[in-house]
């Protein structure tokens, strides 16, 4: 009997510990989703930032091979979620209201950043063109005469 009572006490303590740990997690929420490009293809390696709009606290994650992300242990509040990847314009959504124990699904679409190029042309005095005359000419040395 004595061995059974020790096991029962140990089992009871274990149940109490596990239940208190699960209660500690109740006040937190999660934000997850998928990031795609404008054609609908999933994008891996995108940095996702969830910002608590009340406190400014930020949590980050990266999308996996299938474009998915999950940011956990978020306190109930209003959040802004931003997706960033070099070569793409950032995408964000604001005022996501997260409540206790909730998971919000946010699917974001990022588009390629606009491409701009500039060409700089430099000239020297040797390459100057005389635009005051329509005459065409060339200098010929004595060896060509």
- Residue 127, pLDDT score: 54
pLDDT in tens, 54-63: 999 999 999 9
Show the tokens assigned to 85: 């990847």
For the segment 51-72, the average pLDDT, to the nearest whole number, is: 96
For the segment 83-90, the average pLDDT, to the nearest whole number, is: 94
For the segment 30-57, the average pLDDT, to the nearest whole number, is: 95
pLDDT band at 114 (very low <50, low <70, confident <90, very high): confident
- Among 70, 69, 71, 72, which residue's Cα sits nearest to residue 45? 69
d(CA 79, CA 12): 39
7-11, 13-17, 63-67, 137-141: which is most confident = 63-67
Q: Is the pLDDT of residue 100 over 80?
A: yes
- Among 95, 62, 66, which residue's Cα sits nearest to residue 81? 95
d(CA 135, CA 145): 21
Helix (H) or strand (E) segment spanning residue 141? none
- Among 110, 87, 130, 128, which residue's Cα sits nearest to residue 39? 110
Where would I find the H helices in the chain? 2-24
- Residue 52, pLDDT score: 96
- Residue 71, pLDDT score: 96
- Residue 23, pLDDT score: 47
Q: Is the pLDDT of residue 142 over 90?
A: no
Where would I find the H helices in 25-145? none
- Residue 113, pLDDT score: 85
pLDDT in tens, 17-36: 555 555 445 579 999 999 99
Question: Strands (DSSP E) along 38-101, which ranges?
Answer: 47-52, 58-62, 68-74, 77-84, 88-89, 91-98
């Amino acid at each position: 009997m004595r061995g059974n009572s020790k096991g029962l006490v140990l089992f009871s303590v274990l149940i109490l510990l596990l239940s208190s740990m699960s209660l500690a997690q109740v006040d937190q929420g999660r934000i997850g989703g998928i990031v795609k490009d404008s054609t609908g293809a999933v994008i891996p390696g995108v940095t996702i930032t969830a910002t608590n709009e009340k406190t400014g606290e930020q949590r980050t994650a990266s999308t996996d091979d299938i474009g998915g992300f999950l940011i956990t242990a978020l306190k109930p509040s209003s959040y802004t979620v931003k997706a960033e990847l070099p070569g793409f314009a950032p995408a964000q959504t604001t005022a996501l209201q997260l409540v206790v124990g909730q998971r919000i699904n946010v699917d974001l679409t990022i588009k390629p950043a606009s491409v701009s190029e500039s060409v700089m042309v430099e000239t020297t005095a040797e390459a100057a063109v005389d635009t005051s005359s329509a005459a065409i000419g060339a200098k010929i040395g004595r060896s060509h005469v």
